[in-house]
Chain A
Amino acid sequence: MAIISIRNLVVEYDARRVLDGLNLDIEPGETMVLLGGSGSGKSTLLRQILGLERAHSGSVLVKGIDITRCSQLELRLVRRSIGVAFQSAALFNSLSVKDNVALALREHTALAPSIIDLMVWMNLAAVGLADFGHLHPQELSGGMKKRAAVARALALDPEILVFDEPSAGLDPIVAAELDELILLLKKAFQMTVVVVTHELPSAFRIADRIAMLHNGSFLAVGTKEEIRSNQHPRIRQFLDRVPDKMGKASEVAASFEKYLRGEEANP
């Protein structure tokens, strides 16, 4: 049985359809990468999976509970089994890294402070930040912030680990380190991992399956090899990094000249 099951999901903003009847099953223990260009709807889909936004129609079942219709209590219980590392890390700036990781443990469990300290240290050590727990988020580099966010996401030993653009804004070496960390964590903790990204090297390194989004619809869902060999024009354009059609330089120049002469409203 799928741990996350999306059925006929439709999301609209001001009558503009952002997700158009999506269907997707994510199996326990697999790494699913939601791949797509800017504005394809992948972040919106992620927010639906996390229950942060209301859908227009359709359902999102996480561990068998439809989070589009469940009560707040059920939603809170479902969320305790999901760890999320946000694109901006979203660490609480008023707390130290150690306290960021300890927060959920202190409030959602009855563990003794000494056990919590030990668990925090273990989580920070797992992401290579054992010596940086006393620092505040603003004192960390971009890559360290992302790793601290992963440590916080791991705090409650979640069944599902979600990454929003883990490589965004990082140099290739740090991005590759983060990919290896995701692979290591998955192997060590046997979690289901959902990653939203538009970085191709990262996606093909960590994915078991890839769902390719375009204009709010899935163009293809399959293994890395299936996606690589897919001949859909838009997928080929994305994988081969071909830009959309642009006007020729001479046409653009002529258009600007017309605009400057006042013959055209907008070049």
Chain B
Amino acid sequence: MATLIENVGQKTLNHLDYVGGFSIQLWAVLRAMGASLPFVGNPYRWKASVGQMLQIGVSALPMVGLMAMCSGFILAMQGASELRRFGAMHYVIDLVAVGFTREMGPLLTAIAVSGRSGSAFAAEIGTMSVTEEIDALRVMAFEPVEFVLAPKYLAALIMVPCLTIASNVCGILAGGIFMFFTTHLSLGLYLHYVLTSIQLRDVISGLIKSLAFATIIVHVGCLEGFRVHGGPDAVGRSTTSAVVKSTFLVIVADVIFTAIFYYFTGKH
């Protein structure tokens, strides 16, 4: 019994330690973000941010687009198989359009970025910790949070919402292609119905979610990297941990945000 209580206590302390580390890191990076901004910040950090934007955003675009297209088809087909029985095929348009802008677009993008970039952040920073590069930065009078993390966070804050919009477009487009082949609905008319079914707040709520997801992915990935101690095996563990934790936290955050939007607007 004593061992059980000890274990529960130790696990609780570990989780509190993680939350504390996450909060301290978030505060530190918010203070250091100014250095990464264009024109007013350090030009080398901004250059690093642009490099990160290419890696997080542009390189991920084909994968996110393809995932969104597939999911758009799945959503449309699953919806159509039920709605057809009630003669309500036109509701497939609402399902795809609203489903993607509010939910599927941000979530799919977050999962793709988490698997692609979150793991890369953990591996990069973990390797830097193991090879003493983080210590080298400190003794060269650089702040690792400003040097390594801030450009990644700024890039993610810009690129994850952009990818989310691209994901929404691809998913909705897939729905349009499905509707064209099943009901011969023209793409122009489909887009007209899409624009009447979604509202600006649907898009904005999705983008707010995507900003929260970007924060989770970058901070979990980097925190896992900074916490690496030991050898290359520890880097491998941190990479796996970064993907698992960030995906889990993204879904938890999604529930919380959806609940908030549901209770505040009564529509989500």
Instruction: Report A's interface with B, CB cutoff 8 A.
Output: 47, 50-52, 76-77, 79-80, 82, 84, 86-88, 90-93, 103-104, 106-108
Listed A/B pairs (15) with beta-carbon separation below 8 Å: A50-B138, A50-B139, A51-B138, A79-B138, A80-B141, A86-B132, A87-B132, A88-B132, A90-B131, A90-B133, A90-B136, A91-B136, A92-B133, A93-B131, A106-B44
Interface flags, B140-176, vs A, CB<8A=1, else 0? 1110000000000000000000000000000000000
Flag if B132 contacts A76 (CB, 8 Å).
Answer: no
Contacts of B138 in A (CB 8 A): 50-52, 79
Majority secondary structure, A binding face = mixed
How many residue-residue contacts, CB under 8 A, span A and B? 44
A240–B132 alpha-carbon span in the complex (Å): 33
A77–B132 alpha-carbon span in the complex (Å): 21
Contacts of A88 in B (CB 8 A): 131-132
Flag if A107 contacts B139 (CB, 8 Å).
Answer: no
* Given A88-B131, A90-B131, A108:B141 Cβ within 8 A: yes
Q: How many residues of B contact A (CB 8 A)?
A: 12
**CB of A185, distance to nearest CB on chain B (Å):** 18
Instruction: Report B's interface with A, CB cutoff 8 A.
Output: 42, 44, 131-133, 135-136, 138-142
**CB of B268, distance to nearest CB on chain A (Å):** 42
Flag if A82 contacts B133 (CB, 8 Å).
Answer: no
Known contacts A79-B138, A90-B132, A92-B136; 9 further A-B pairs (Cβ under 8 A): A50-B139, A52-B135, A79-B140, A86-B136, A90-B135, A91-B136, A93-B131, A93-B133, A104-B140
Flag if A52 contacts B139 (CB, 8 Å).
Answer: yes
A31–B149 alpha-carbon span in the complex (Å): 37
A77–B140 alpha-carbon span in the complex (Å): 10
**CB of B148, distance to nearest CB on chain A (Å):** 10
Contacts of A86 in B (CB 8 A): 132, 135-136
Query: Within the complex, which residue of A84, A91, A103 is in contact with B139, where a contact is CB–CB below 8 Å?
Result: A84
Instruction: Using CB atoms, name the residue of chain B closest to A92.
Output: B133
A92–B44 alpha-carbon span in the complex (Å): 15
Instruction: Using CB atoms, name the residue of chain B closest to A87.
Output: B132
A79–B139 alpha-carbon span in the complex (Å): 6
**CB of A4, distance to nearest CB on chain B (Å):** 14
* Given A90-B131, A107-B42, A107-B44, A84:B141 Cβ within 8 A: no
A47–B139 alpha-carbon span in the complex (Å): 10
Instruction: Using CB atoms, name the residue of chain B closest to A47.
Output: B135
Contacts of A103 in B (CB 8 A): 140
A87–B131 alpha-carbon span in the complex (Å): 9
Contacts of B44 in A (CB 8 A): 106-107
Contacts of A52 in B (CB 8 A): 135, 138-139
Contacts of A107 in B (CB 8 A): 42, 44, 142
Interface hub of A79, A90, A91 (most chain B Cβ within 10 A) = A90
Query: Within the complex, which residue of B42, B131, B133, B141 is in contact with A79, where a contact is CB–CB below 8 Å?
Result: B141
A88–B135 alpha-carbon span in the complex (Å): 11
